[in-house]
Structure 1
């Protein structure tokens, strides 16, 4: 769109507001400073809306803006003056469109990088020009034109936004939309960012006029748009974390971008995000929303995976399908990986946000820690700066923390913006499983549930939405006289429902084995440190075929990359096509684990199968005298020598790992340590297994005991526990130099 046309449009918007263009520019100075920057520049417009008139408030949109802003400044090298944020009542339709032109359109030049982010409600609206067509739209702060007339809405059509993005004079445009458009009649669990369509609502005439003008322009650029959901009926959810709320998609995305290196950031982000979102309690799947070059990929990503035919599922899993269409790895443009991160940037768990006057105490922003770890990240945890100084954590509230430099004689001044990397993780030993009681339960039902759950020693309850929780106890929507355990996103956990008409206490009592399993899984998830481990490890999950193995997912520690060449080589082998990774029932699977360090490492594998039952890899030792009667099976330590590769289970007919039904999510934690897993194997050996169960990956009968033994083994491997006085007795102390824990997740179909 020509500058004059844009100015005319902005002038009409400002006239409606009763503001002259000069006054608007003056007003804009209160939001940002337009500074001359060397080309290329990095510009961002971030929008977050929690409070809407006459609409239930959201909780995490302002945090999303903060997450993105801190990420762009400290991780991507943006200048704070080049980031404009519009929040709450500032984020009206008129101000959003005006700010888009004034901050982005007037300043961006060819080659500049532009980021647009929106967190808030989305909805659907019919167009008067085409009554049978329902379009997706973003809901600004001023929802309706007039308080007395809520049928004329000031939504921003998704089509309008895409055309605005295409109007910018640079090809380096990325938009992140943490919203959704289809609001189900009932929402169980996490709050949804989709507003119910208003019957008879009409779009404001000026929005239609603006769209009409945009359609007449030649807009050649193709933006990349990352959406929080891939299916129209999925809801973008927001969760309650450790002292703050945030959009699940924004939090998972920004946390991933903090930790991971340039070459691996975008290509594998969606597969990683799928795993992270599932752990946060939601099945929403991120998607590449629009790009003419990636139209084929968009259609696949927007499909409901479970409804695809086997042939289409195979197409979704095929790396060549994407590359034959010219979509690049994972359907992204080939140069997208270079758009965000500068060369040579390191992964981090956060950054220094402020330095106190004494020069020894700093405030930290810790958005790079995995969400499940952040909640329990304890005092005396240690982080290091690139300059070598070590910081000791003294307190933490939400995403912010206060730390002190460990050596008081250090003369290197601390600086705001310095990245911090995890060195020592301190976790409490008394971690409970937290169950949220759905607000849809009657008061007496909540009382009974609270009493019943209190009978379990390591289970606590909260009211849903008031404090962070792991799972949700609620009524089944189809049969209100049955109770069950759900993910925070409202998905029923297999084998957790009571009988019809059964009392709350009886249903809860039935959950005893499942609660123990879920707590165990929570504990071993706390070991995840792919972004911070200093052990060089690479693991590939493969489907075995008669021709050649097909890669499903690949993980590797990211602080151990040594050269740019090795990074690029890693990316070339990491062609994960499906989002999320999909494994058909009956597939034969194996892991290929490469120890790229200079030390031997020991290995253990734990997880939840698609029945939500605990499983483990059992390294059975062959008896010396196989003909001896009543020979008790033994487990041996799995050791991988330096620069060696181990395949597990071994590819032979006697130790196959075959994926059974049903269709559900499957997750595993692959953990290595520089010290033997002595207590873990001892705990595994205490369970009584029948001969039929002595497969390579089999049910874990005592998951909680094994998980506790695992943490103790990692604690024992740390040489620092004696240096942290008063902490070792009630905490686990884990040194990133001595362990690596990689998370794998895939959908069974």
Structure 2
């Protein structure tokens, strides 16, 4: 297409949006070249804005664009020329809307795949047509129309975007909005992507005119619109990771889509994503914006709950072939020696990436292995392990985890809130330094696990908070408490939270080659149901199950699984591998104290009161199904209050948990404590013993002695999180 033809074609769109040809040309040739390519089956428009005039910059929006772009190209087969990105000053209201109409609207055909992504601020604005109501809006890079009149804002109404999405001639439309609209009064920890409402602001008349034009068009499409939050006043957060910042929702969503197989409902996908968000310190609940409508059509509801609906070939799907299995990343470049490659590692769980060590190994589809040599953020360098013979390395090859190397000296990192006085931060740094496994940083400077700060309602009290600003239960002290005493009081809690951090590093549901399925069930007589299900989907591609799994009806999972207080619970665990597997269950209950699932030995002399109860291994034979705890009155697991978030980690191994059982038996359990789910008294010792049990006893050349080596063929680890109400 010639440049003149291109400008003529888009001229009418620019006129509607109030853009001059000179302004359009300032974008440069990159956008023109992307649009000039022949029409393809998969199109994407990705928007990311970190830099805004006169307001604090965001940090992770450009990373979000990169995360989406690499995912679409390497995982879903998009052509780079069909993905248009607008970042920072390029992402004005006019250019975003013009790009949508021309790149997506004019090129998309029926059955084509279309993806739209926005990362940036959101806000609220009044419309002159209805001054009593406020509308959600995306904040464009040029949201202040001119420096003289800041009362006119160049926002893109959420309604405008939804109409644009619905106007596309294909049903396979997915939008991802990593933004929110209500700015919190105070921000503790993670940065919020919501701009305070400008009280006197009025929407640019060009946007209102454009909206009215859209309302007159036919709307054939029913898109999937995935939002970072499903609650109106919930903030979308972005976090600081190992060398980069990113939107928590974008990172968690793209990581899930890297690792897991295609056929999945939207609700199941969002359940996994929300589980990841909770580990990243945010309680935001993602949702499908279209699904939040009270007027949801039967066709739409069927699409939401009938796989494949998110990443398969059905309506709204991203078009991933059913035969492709998950990956932890891809080869992005091959160096001149032909033996060293650059990798993109966005498929690893975020909490694992920070500690992913040198000499970790990945396999290619050709069965060759890559050995990790260095890592910076999401990118890494690796060498092929077999250098003799023909080298089959290619850019774009998917890589799958084979061996995970983790350091033994993992610390719990506490961020000191900037609301603390300087002397308070000095005292806190000194106090926390007394703990061997705790380090401190200032909020926003380096990755952290929790925040130490003051309660907003009672500033003279200190407490420990999640990165999303939620107070950790039982961590507040008395009014006027000294910082040093607060730190000493928190010592047991810090030990528990570090233990939880360690067992979360074992999570590998996406990469494990051990064929396991686990289902969390409510077994109360009133409303028995499945809460959630996890399985090592990749393992079933290579292992032949000995016995067909028990088919359990899985009700449509909500993004936040809800478990009422008083519910009787159990796990149903299926070992579909050809080897016996051992199981340990650890977790944090709704008081944020450590718990474990215990399997008690029957005392040889039951009439003797002083016999110490002992624990035994939980082992599941090949092809067998086990329910835990056993369903009898003596070993019931009943959910108690208070209402809060609970998480549990199910860790499986092909070798016994000898060190873990020994550490559990070392605790002073009384015969009265023989409950199936009970307190974990020495949680940090247990977590360290657990990693030692999973540690590969055959050392790998070059791996440091202070490392754990875990083989995906020998272990599986699932995370179950639910809300107690």
Shared topology, TM-score over 0.5?
yes
Matches within 5 A, 1:6-405: 9-12=12-15, 16-19=19-22, 27=29, 29=31, 32=34, 34-37=36-39, 41-264=41-264, 266-290=266-290, 295-296=293-294, 326=302, 328-329=304-305, 335-336=314-315, 338-405=317-384
Q: How far off its partner does 1:28 sit?
A: 5.2
Structure 1 Cα separation of the partners of residues 301 and 104 of structure 2: 31
Question: 1:53-83: per-residue Cα shift (whole Å, max 9, x none)?
Answer: 0010000000000000000000000000000
Partner of residue 435, structure 2 = 456
Structure 2 Cα separation of the partners of residues 625 and 26 of structure 1: 84
Q: How far off its partner does 1:722 sit?
A: 2.2
Q: How far off its partner does 1:623 sit?
A: 1.6
Structure 1 Cα separation of the partners of residues 249 and 139 of structure 2: 18
The question of 1:516 aligning with 2:518 is answered no
Partner of residue 522, structure 2 = 543
Structure 2 Cα separation of the partners of residues 546 and 196 of structure 1: 48
Structure 1 Cα separation of the partners of residues 177 and 80 of structure 2: 21
Is contact 1:538-1:555 (8 Å) kept?
yes
Any unmatched runs of 5+ in structure 2?
1-5
Partner of residue 735, structure 1 = 711
Is contact 2:359-2:702 (8 Å) kept?
no
Question: 1:651-694: per-residue Cα shift (whole Å, max 9, x none)?
Answer: 00000001111111100000110000000000000111233321
Partner of residue 540, structure 2 = 561
Is contact 2:262-2:308 (8 Å) kept?
no
Structure 2 Cα separation of the partners of residues 376 and 24 of structure 1: 43
Partner of residue 682, structure 1 = 662
* 1:572–1:584 distance in 2 versus 1, CA, 3 Å: closer
TM value normalised by structure 2: 0.94
* 1:25–1:78 distance in 2 versus 1, CA, 3 Å: same
Q: Give the stretch that moved more between structures: 584-593 or 259-268.
A: 259-268
Q: How far off its partner does 1:17 sit?
A: 2.7
Is contact 1:296-1:325 (8 Å) kept?
no
Question: 1:719-742: per-residue Cα shift (whole Å, max 9, x none)?
Answer: 5x3232452x21000000000000
Q: How far off its partner does 1:560 sit?
A: 1.6
Q: How far off its partner does 1:91 sit?
A: 0.3
Q: How far off its partner does 1:601 sit?
A: 0.4
Structure 1 Cα separation of the partners of residues 493 and 542 of structure 2: 45
Q: How far off its partner does 1:558 sit?
A: 1.8
What is the aligned length?
A: 715
Aligned match for 1:665, one of 609, 620, 645: 645
Aligned match for 1:494, one of 462, 470, 473: 473
* 1:16–1:387 distance in 2 versus 1, CA, 3 Å: same
The question of 1:710 aligning with 2:697 is answered no
* 1:496–1:571 distance in 2 versus 1, CA, 3 Å: same
Question: 1:340-375: per-residue Cα shift (whole Å, max 9, x none)?
Answer: 322211100000010001111000000000011000
Q: How far off its partner does 1:333 sit?
A: 5.7
Structure 2 Cα separation of the partners of residues 37 and 406 of structure 1: 40
Is contact 1:31-1:85 (8 Å) kept?
no
Q: How far off its partner does 1:186 sit?
A: 1.3
Partner of residue 416, structure 1 = 395
Runs of 4+ in 1 over 6 A off after TM superposition: 3-6, 563-566, 568-572
Question: 1:172-231: per-residue Cα shift (whole Å, max 9, x none)?
Answer: 111000000001221111000000000110000100000011111121211110000011
* 1:472–1:332 distance in 2 versus 1, CA, 3 Å: farther
Structure 2 Cα separation of the partners of residues 547 and 106 of structure 1: 54
Is contact 1:664-1:747 (8 Å) kept?
yes
Question: 1:394-431: per-residue Cα shift (whole Å, max 9, x none)?
Answer: 00000000000001104133101000000000000000
* 1:93–1:569 distance in 2 versus 1, CA, 3 Å: farther
Is contact 1:227-1:286 (8 Å) kept?
yes
* 1:336–1:594 distance in 2 versus 1, CA, 3 Å: farther
Is contact 1:555-1:742 (8 Å) kept?
yes
Is contact 2:263-2:322 (8 Å) kept?
no
Aligned match for 1:619, one of 599, 616, 632: 599
Structure 2 Cα separation of the partners of residues 13 and 325 of structure 1: 35
1:402 is paired with a residue whose SS is strand
* 1:148–1:702 distance in 2 versus 1, CA, 3 Å: same
Partner of residue 628, structure 2 = 648
Aligned match for 1:443, one of 398, 411, 422: 422
Structure 2 Cα separation of the partners of residues 200 and 131 of structure 1: 11
Partner of residue 723, structure 1 = 700
Question: 1:588-642: per-residue Cα shift (whole Å, max 9, x none)?
Answer: 0000000000000011000000000000011101122322342221111111000
* 1:712–1:553 distance in 2 versus 1, CA, 3 Å: same
Q: How far off its partner does 1:31 sit?
A: 5.8
Q: How far off its partner does 1:108 sit?
A: 0.6
1:530 is paired with a residue whose SS is coil
Q: How far off its partner does 1:8 sit?
A: 6.7
* 1:365–1:689 distance in 2 versus 1, CA, 3 Å: same
Partner of residue 312, structure 1 = none
Q: How far off its partner does 1:329 sit?
A: 1.6
Structure 2 Cα separation of the partners of residues 551 and 477 of structure 1: 39
Q: How far off its partner does 1:479 sit?
A: 0.5
Is contact 2:31-2:84 (8 Å) kept?
no
Is contact 1:13-1:94 (8 Å) kept?
no
Partner of residue 317, structure 1 = none
2:464 is paired with a residue whose SS is strand
Is contact 1:11-1:20 (8 Å) kept?
no
Is contact 2:532-2:557 (8 Å) kept?
no
1:561 is paired with a residue whose SS is helix
Q: How far off its partner does 1:16 sit?
A: 3.2
Q: Give the stretch that moved more between structures: 575-584 or 363-372.
A: 575-584
The question of 1:691 aligning with 2:671 is answered yes
Structure 2 Cα separation of the partners of residues 510 and 25 of structure 1: 57
Root-mean-square deviation over aligned CA pairs:
2.6
Q: How far off its partner does 1:326 sit?
A: 4.0
Structure 2 Cα separation of the partners of residues 673 and 561 of structure 1: 17
